[in-house]
Amino acid sequence: MSLLRRVFLWLGLALVVCFQVAPMYIALTTSLKPRSDLSSQWIFPTQELYLKNFEVAVVDGNILRAIGSSAIVTISSTVLVCVLGALAAYPLARRETLTNKIIYSSIIGLIMVPPLAILVPLYTLMTQIHAVNTYWGVVLVMVTTQLPLAVFLYTSFLRGLPISVEESAIIDGASNLNVLFRIVVPMLKPVTATVVILTSVNVWNEYALSVYMLRSPEVRTVAPTISTFFSSSGVDLGPAAAASLISVMPVLIAYLLLQKWFIKGMVAGAVK
């Protein structure tokens, strides 16, 4: 690679990083300034840091309760998506029959359907089964919307794994369940990390469906809570920015811990 191409590559990467970091930087500077500070949001506060905004976000915005609700929904949905996705993908990857091909194509087609397109019949159904304003109801919706992508990733990854190890285990007398849980599942760590991050981030940040399924403040998740708090804050953006920073911390920490496996899973699933 020539020097000129390297320079343009690094400039492009730096530009992308700036676009990604800029909103976080503005939220940080806004959260550390009082309402009376009229300086530019690009200027970091040079005097004493104003931490009252974080207190307001916790006390008045109920952001910690929203984080707890989001944690319940996200963890439950992610576990179910990983388990069901792996179990569904294994026969689709290993038995390429006509029926399985039709099922797999149908699952892939579901990825193209936007969740808001089924909002009216979905809300009607959830109302009829008394699932609105319940954790299990929103978990059911989240699993339904996130499962097709998980099945696609698991199936793509499994098709690249050698089947000889599984055949050897079957010859030695292992059952299909033993082969799945003792041989196949340990090899799914990279793609599972990918599914965990994608699912958890999507569920944690989900707003369009949660705002209808969780209308009660006691069970409301992070995104609807911040939206309501932002509307009630009016021109005082400091507490709203502080609430946004607090809410993004759990997902950011999870990504930093799993980023190595996330990259491996994405690369392996794409290549294989």
pLDDT in tens, the chain (272 residues): 577 788 788 888 888 888 888 888 888 888 877 777 767 667 777 777 777 788 887 877 788 888 888 899 999 999 999 999 998 888 888 888 888 888 888 888 888 888 888 888 888 888 898 888 888 989 999 999 999 999 999 988 888 877 777 777 777 777 777 777 788 888 888 888 888 888 988 898 888 888 888 888 788 888 888 888 777 766 677 788 888 888 888 878 877 777 766 666 555 554 44
Helix/strand/coil for 99:
helix
Distance CA 45, CA 37 (A): 9
Distance CA 203, CA 63 (A): 17
Q: What pLDDT shows up at residue 267?
A: 58
- What are the respective helix, strand and coil percentages of the chain, to the nearest 5? 75, 0, 25
Q: What pLDDT shows up at residue 265?
A: 58
Whether this model's pTM surpasses 0.85: no
The C-alpha angle with vertex 183 and arms to 148 and 192, in degrees rounded to 5, equals: 35
Q: What pLDDT shows up at residue 148?
A: 92
Q: What pLDDT shows up at residue 235?
A: 64
Token pair 């029926």: residue: 99
Q: What pLDDT shows up at residue 271?
A: 46
Cβ neighbours of residue 110 closer than 8 Å, sequence gap 6 or more: 148
Q: What pLDDT shows up at residue 80?
A: 95
**Does residue 146 contact residue 77 with C-beta atoms inside 8 Å?**
yes
Q: Provide the phi-psi class of 133: left if phi over 0, else alpha when psi is between -120 and 50, else beta.
A: left
Q: What pLDDT shows up at residue 272?
A: 45
Distance CA 202, CA 206 (A): 6
Structure tokens that stand for 81 in this block: 């998506």
Q: What size, in residues, is the chain?
A: 272
**Does residue 77 contact residue 118 with C-beta atoms inside 8 Å?**
no
For 83, what's the count of Cα atoms within 13 Å in the CB-facing half-sphere? 7
Distance CA 229, CA 53 (A): 12
